[in-house]
Amino acid sequence: MHTDLITFLLHMGDNTLILSQRNSEWCGHGPVLEQDIALTNIALDLLGQTRNFYQYAASLSGDGTTEDSLAYLRTVREYYNCLLVEQPNGDWGQTILRQFLFSAYQYPLYEKLKVHPDDTIAAIAAKALKEVTYHLRWSSEWVVRLGDGTPESHSRMIKALDNLWPYTGELFDPASYEQIAAIDSAILKTAWLDRVTAVLAEATLPLPGQTFMQSGGKKGLHSEHLDYLLAELQYLQRTYPGNEW
């Protein structure tokens, strides 16, 4: 009865969990202390969004599933996150650009979801939108700073664009379970592209042309990067099953 809704909630929670895990890899390694803390806080915001989606999914399953089991006991093929969020951090520029591209997608998505007829989804989106507003502003400023900075930072941002752009098309290629969201993906893409185009122009970075877009994450088909990420994320629970922290 709730199959598509649960899968949609898992998709939303998986996106934020995996990006949170990626961002947390920078903890203690940021270029300066203030930005190290800023990215760590963004990781915590994303983790909080994950918990809300997972808790709701667990409550609908009715089979003893918990937010912990959803995070720690599923296999890679049971994750529905977009390929974009599982891509490696690379350098600071690639990490920043990945956050920007995803936050620019999350912002119009949550704006639509905050008026969703499902009250719980609407409440999660309304709360998360406040966080995403900051994530988008912070990452936009960094994209501009690096893109319109030194020749070195500019070239690194172009390389980051080349690496990440092929994973953006999947954001707007809806899976069947996303019909639950009742959102026109074309409208989302237009809002996203307008934002991205404006920020890249300010950053003196060229908007990439047409290219082959990677996909499969929404269907559980992932890059090898997710296997390694989950091995680290799930290590303690799988080594010492049943423990609670």
Question: Per-residue pLDDT averaged across 90-119, rounded?
Answer: 98
| Long-range residue pairs from 109-116, CB within 8 A, at least 24 positions apart, any chain | 109/181, 109/183, 109/188, 112/181, 112/183, 112/187, 112/188, 113/181, 113/183, 116/181, 116/182
pLDDT in tens, 13-35: 999 999 999 999 999 888 887 88
pLDDT in tens, 202-214: 999 999 998 999 9
**Check whether domain 3-239 has CATH 3.65.10.10, yes or no:** no
pTM assigned to the model: 0.96
Calpha distance 125→49 (Å, rounded): 9
pLDDT in tens, 153-203: 999 999 999 999 999 999 999 999 999 999 999 999 999 999 999 999 999
Q: Where are the domains of the chain?
A: 3-239
Closest CA to 206 of 157, 240, 172: 157
The CB density around residue 136, as the number of other CB atoms within 10 Å, is 20
User: With 60 as the cut, is the pLDDT of residue 1 above it?
Assistant: no
